[in-house]
Structure 1
């Protein structure tokens, strides 16, 4: 398919409700007006919702009789109004242009302070959006050129979109659009390009998200994939800990970096470890070597790439050392999550009890990380033996979480068993080192309708568990990333056919649900009500799975 074909396929999903009109590296988002005709304009800002980032509450194009022109088509480079009577396009990353080739049309816009203005389109108006969200409006003559430039940006992006199986190509094109749309420039980091989880609030580079997003990007833009890892690895602490988030104002690496309101909320929740006077590290699970391996597999290694990878490996090895030392809070040889944020599964019921939490997924990730580092050692000339020995020790500690009675891995809250049957208990499959009877028990759980055998994939809490909710974040909905990790675990544990079936089920879920949402109802396959749409890692992992299934 040509870039133009892929652009049109992606455009079928740009409804200005679940998918806004935006441009790579722009902070401007355009949605349909909440009530009535026209559109509304917002900015994308770190940890701020759309209501806090209003630029224009409405922007309407009217004909000579004063009637509002309806939105009749949306493509990545242009919003068509009135069947082509007018168009809305980007004019660079910081401005919008509204233009028309017809006489008598005008634009009407309302700012958040309630002021409404109107001006003729003769032939266009340019809306410059400033960092403080103020807008400067002036007549313009370069509307056709702005449209051409915007179209060229998207055409260049879609030249990189992977070719996949015919039944997966349309959603792959849309997911590739999501990745391009979610590019944000971070000027304080030398204009680094972060592909953020979403331009709605999630305007930063979360460590875990960066790994999953890089895995999708590698299939069309390996350099941008490496850039995500480079940003994620750029700010380790002196002890080697990687921060949870890198954003335009700095990093989030400790509870001291949280806003005061968040610290107060955590204190009210009774989390003694998150008290403002007892800071706790905030990070994400150790999948960095796994992600680096996948990104490096995307293309032959050059001398420059090998040098870059070697530098990243030193950072990853120090991060792994930090996990095994500084995060083993009870000194029993198995690190714990000191804070739910560090798990990636913030609202999982395994964190309903006291902290710290000893979790089987963390044990599995640590084993996987050391096994990957041992492989890298053989390739890059450092000793793999310490990593293999540590993986063996961690595997033994992981098996202490196996509960033969329930045939499952269970977490511990401050040393006490957790009864919740959460998807964290399936992650030990990733090690590829479990006994056959343990693997068989976990595989059986995938097809048990009272556990993980729901119609649309693997719920994050077993369907029969008292803590299960089909719609509440991390307490039952299906997430693309956890499906992917379990599929990898199945393949590593000798069940490639079951792994492929889960991959097929996952891409079918995204298609059925209408796009790469943050999470899905496991009973209906629809977007959960509070899930973010056009979500970065869901889009990236769909691309990766589509490529896998097309080989």
Structure 2
């Protein structure tokens, strides 16, 4: 555990560079970043909105501060609660979630602000007191308002950081930063009645179903109630037949291809995909890890009535997979759309849809096993038998996907075997029920430098596969959620030491790469070029793994 009394906020501040980690506030949509495309000493202020690029949501194009001599005052420090312009004695902080406050310590200073639709710079001086910046405009405010805003913003972050989970000394700095990421990514979704921890305010503003599950796994160690709120949102909008939506967002939910944003449709068209404009709506969801997430809150959340309702929702969603996503009627549900897998760009989806994939089979087996265990706990013997029997049937279908010659579980598209070897072939470990030969085959793949034993494991596509890419999303880069599932899979399949070794290597990856990025290159361990930063599930699962290895 941490032996040096360094406040978590100070640890997190070491990573706040205003590039990969913006200045923001829990519950706010406002982001302050360095103006990388313009003046190097300037800041820019953006809004985080669902399916809108930050460049389309500019509040302030450039903001610069000048000292008493008229020289540009560069940013001298960034803390969770303020940005400091040391030479001018000026600070920028939040005045609630919807506004920023810029003010000084009593000396002379000036600020120059350029609005998005105006080439003209507006000047403010210390004689004005302080400046409020919001979506409704820029106005002068008394200095006392700025001082109160500083104190209030500090209290918000102090209340957040006091919950930082305790971990080993060597993991404490990154854990504090990851805890900051989870707090920074909190937004309010209008009319939803709960706080969403979004994947990233830089690019992903909404509650994606399986992101919510992974994020809840990390939040439970410091804020179980907020973890519960993530599942509340994920479970709040099932369809009449039990399907859980892919995304809950500002304007509604994404549960069907009819709900896809225009940008997603355009991306699919550019890829030449027939599902850009399907002839009939395709359900959109995410992999069935709901029971996996719900189990993680047991012992952290004391709310039996809530658990009863949540387990009922999970049971209905499980029925949906078998009743409505077994698209060829063979007893094994398939992915009807790449988005429902979460692995949108994986080469398994270069095949014709629907795709039967070993990861989906593993998730369904695990979920039925967990539902059976829950049914036994509440003494519902009929439900326990039903779930257990279906899990065994699905396991038999999964075992039939093993290709003995290739040495891995093979996906199929529209009934045709898929050649690509990807991480989905490793995830059946998660069931804890594989035959010894299948476990040995997966361990061989993990140990093979031509397959998954890269410098920084585990790549999402085997290195020997023609579709492997060090950089391209889901076609080679390392993802923390895949590693975390494999850590668990190794443990439940009889190899806990190997699981712990992968956990330690994953923690080191995030530390060496400088933060919980969306995905990482397996050859260098750096952030992949197109990956976003301050990514929610990477941060949450870093915390979850750090707590586990620190125990």
TM over 0.5: yes
Q: Which moved more, 1:138-147 or 1:242-251?
A: 138-147
SS of 1:397 mapped into structure 2: helix
Change (3 A) 1:261 1:89: closer
Instruction: Identify which of 180, 197, 200 aligns with 2:199.
Output: 197
Cα drift, residue 66 of structure 1: 1.8
SS of 2:101 mapped into structure 1: strand
- Is the Cα contact below 8 Å between 1:271 and 1:355 reproduced in 2? no
CA distance in 2, matches of 1:292, 1:261: 32
Query: Are positions 1:168 and 2:176 aligned together?
Result: no
CA distance in 2, matches of 1:531, 1:381: 46
**Per-residue deviation, residues 361-394 of structure 1 (Å, max 9, x unmatched):** 0000000000011111122333311000000000
Q: Which moved more, 1:422-431 or 1:101-110?
A: 101-110
Gaps of 5+ in 1: none
Normalized against structure 1, the TM-score is what?
Answer: 0.96
- Is the Cα contact below 8 Å between 1:38 and 1:68 reproduced in 2? no
Match of 1:315 in 2: 313
Q: How does 1:48-63 map to 2 (within 5 A)?
A: 48-63=52-67
Cα drift, residue 143 of structure 1: 1.4
- Is the Cα contact below 8 Å between 1:161 and 1:220 reproduced in 2? yes
Q: How does 1:148-297 map to 2 (within 5 A)?
A: 148-190=151-193, 192-260=194-262, 262-263=264-265, 265-266=267-268, 269-273=271-275, 275-297=277-299
Instruction: Identify which of 136, 139, 144 aligns with 1:137.
Output: 139
- Is the Cα contact below 8 Å between 2:88 and 2:109 reproduced in 1? no
Match of 1:459 in 2: 459
SS of 2:63 mapped into structure 1: strand
Cα drift, residue 4 of structure 1: 7.0
Cα drift, residue 33 of structure 1: 1.7
SS of 2:7 mapped into structure 1: helix
Cα drift, residue 67 of structure 1: 1.2
Cα drift, residue 178 of structure 1: 0.2
Cα drift, residue 517 of structure 1: 0.2
- Is the Cα contact below 8 Å between 1:3 and 1:158 reproduced in 2? no
CA RMSD of aligned residues (A): 1.5
Change (3 A) 1:514 1:265: closer
SS of 1:189 mapped into structure 2: coil
Normalized against structure 2, the TM-score is what?
Answer: 0.96
Query: Are positions 1:548 and 2:548 aligned together?
Result: yes
Q: Which moved more, 1:386-395 or 1:57-66?
A: 57-66
Q: How does 1:308-457 map to 2 (within 5 A)?
A: 308-382=306-380, 383-457=383-457
Match of 1:66 in 2: 70
Cα drift, residue 201 of structure 1: 2.4
- Is the Cα contact below 8 Å between 1:213 and 1:225 reproduced in 2? yes
Change (3 A) 1:3 1:206: farther
- Is the Cα contact below 8 Å between 1:273 and 1:338 reproduced in 2? no
- Is the Cα contact below 8 Å between 1:90 and 1:146 reproduced in 2? yes
SS of 1:508 mapped into structure 2: helix
Change (3 A) 1:293 1:81: same
Query: How many equivalent pairs are there?
Result: 543
- Is the Cα contact below 8 Å between 1:327 and 1:337 reproduced in 2? yes
**Per-residue deviation, residues 242-294 of structure 1 (Å, max 9, x unmatched):** 00000010000000001345335535645445534311000000000000001
Match of 1:108 in 2: 112
- Is the Cα contact below 8 Å between 1:521 and 1:528 reproduced in 2? yes
Match of 2:534 in 1: 534
CA distance in 1, matches of 2:63, 2:204: 25
- Is the Cα contact below 8 Å between 2:471 and 2:529 reproduced in 1? yes
Cα drift, residue 83 of structure 1: 4.7
Match of 2:11 in 1: 9
CA distance in 1, matches of 2:324, 2:511: 42
CA distance in 1, matches of 2:404, 2:541: 33
- Is the Cα contact below 8 Å between 1:100 and 1:122 reproduced in 2? no
Match of 1:85 in 2: 89
**Per-residue deviation, residues 130-177 of structure 1 (Å, max 9, x unmatched):** 2xxx42322332212111110110000011101100000010000000
**Per-residue deviation, residues 429-466 of structure 1 (Å, max 9, x unmatched):** 11111110110110111111101100111000011111
CA distance in 1, matches of 2:314, 2:530: 34
CA distance in 1, matches of 2:546, 2:500: 11
- Is the Cα contact below 8 Å between 1:281 and 1:338 reproduced in 2? yes
CA distance in 2, matches of 1:54, 1:77: 21
CA distance in 2, matches of 1:269, 1:4: 49
CA distance in 1, matches of 2:270, 2:32: 37
Query: Are positions 1:119 and 2:121 aligned together?
Result: no
CA distance in 1, matches of 2:445, 2:402: 14
- Is the Cα contact below 8 Å between 1:182 and 1:198 reproduced in 2? yes
Change (3 A) 1:3 1:210: farther
**Per-residue deviation, residues 457-495 of structure 1 (Å, max 9, x unmatched):** 100001111111011000000000000011111111100
CA distance in 1, matches of 2:5, 2:306: 31
Q: Which moved more, 1:111-120 or 1:525-534?
A: 111-120
SS of 1:122 mapped into structure 2: helix
CA distance in 2, matches of 1:357, 1:521: 26
CA distance in 1, matches of 2:167, 2:275: 47
- Is the Cα contact below 8 Å between 2:456 and 2:525 reproduced in 1? yes
CA distance in 2, matches of 1:500, 1:265: 39
